Amino acid sequence: MEKRKLIIVAIGGNGICPSEPGAEMSFTAQLIHTKRTLWNLISVFNHFQVVITHGNGPQAGLVYEQMIPRTPFGVVTLVTTSQISSAITRAYEELIIENNLQGLPPMEPVLTWVKVDPHDSGFSNPSKPVGQQLSGDEVAELLRYHPEYLFTDYGKGKRRLIASPQPKEVLNITDILEVIEDGKVPVALGGGGIPVFLDDQGRREITDCILDKDLSSSLLSIRVAADVLLILTNEQGMYTNYGTPSQRLQKQINASQVETWLAAGEFPIGSMGPKAEAAIQFLAANPRGRVIIGHVEERAEKFLDGSAGTTITAD
């Protein structure tokens, strides 16, 4: 049997549960939302060896505020990863049963640990939006009790910013490779992976941050020699002059162009910036690969034939 090409599908937290103000965040709501996302990917499971990764931004902010006493965001990632990977796996299984789909591989969640540098500047410059979009009154109420919180404009409201250092190493990559060798679909790097420091004896200490799932997915894509990195977000693709009358969706571009635009400030930190970095890193390591960025509600076939999203290739 011919070996299938390997695709990493990085699903944003909004592909599991929307972050809009007032959006329902129950497990049932996440299950319904996730089924819509996975239905658009069904053709990929038929033709590729797939690895699913996912974010946890909307869920992490909510869970953090409910945890008393306050706990490191790395622990929040550990908690939300279990919930979200369960929702993804359950949604996939329900789609197979409800639509009588034949021959699709089973899914298996893989708890994933990622090494970070304790001296990374990301700890002193929070850049990762978490939680739902909040109104001005909701932000003011939080700041009354937590004046140290930082927020950024996002969509129709604001979201909290937390530390997000660079992922350095996927520590249990062999666990993911074993699931692939078994012919299954790993659901890995939940929330970008559980961030840890390593002490002198190699012991793991969960730290207070959330990793960017696109940067972590790029790191994984390099290690497993993926052919395609598909990043699903809430935008149609990569725009230049975003938010202005002259904004333009870039359909087919190369890594050199992305690097130039990134350096010029086209892609903000906390949104498209990490996706641009992820593309540059992956294509530098695998010049024959492709990075595709597109809307989570679009059909995967359109991404793969170039009729939707942004396709980025090496120079």
CA distance 306 to 315: 17
For the entire predicted model, the pTM comes to 0.92
Q: Name the superfamily (CATH) of residues 6-115+168-313.
A: Acetylglutamate kinase-like (3.40.1160.10)
Strands 290-295 and 310-313: antiparallel
Cα-based torsion angle of the residue sequence 140, 142, 148, 152 in order, rounded to the nearest 10 degrees? -60
Query: What integer pLDDT is reported at residue 38 of this predicted model?
Result: 97
pLDDT score recorded for residue 100: 95
Tens of pLDDT along the chain (315 residues) come to 568 999 999 998 788 886 666 677 788 888 899 999 999 999 999 999 999 999 987 788 778 878 767 789 999 999 999 889 999 999 999 999 999 999 999 999 999 999 999 999 999 999 888 877 888 999 999 899 889 899 988 878 888 899 999 999 999 999 999 999 999 999 999 999 999 999 999 999 999 999 999 999 999 999 999 999 999 999 999 999 998 999 999 999 999 999 999 999 999 887 899 999 999 999 999 999 999 999 999 999 999 999 999 999 998
Sequential DSSP letters for 268-309: -TTTHHHHHHHHHHHHHH-TT-EEEEEETTS-HHHHHTTSSS
Nearest to 180 by CA among 240, 238, 108: 108
**Span 185-216, pLDDT tens digits:** 999 999 999 999 999 999 999 999 999 999 99
SS3 150: strand
- Enumerate the domain spans of the chain: 6-115+168-313
Angle at 279 between CA 275 and CA 282, to 5 degrees: 135
Instruction: For residue 16, report the phi and psi dihedrals to the nearest 5 degrees.
Output: -100, -40
268 contacts: CB under 8 Å, gap ≥ 6: none
Rounded CA Rg of the chain: 19
How far lies 8's CA from each of 75, 214, 216, 289, in Å? 25, 10, 11, 11
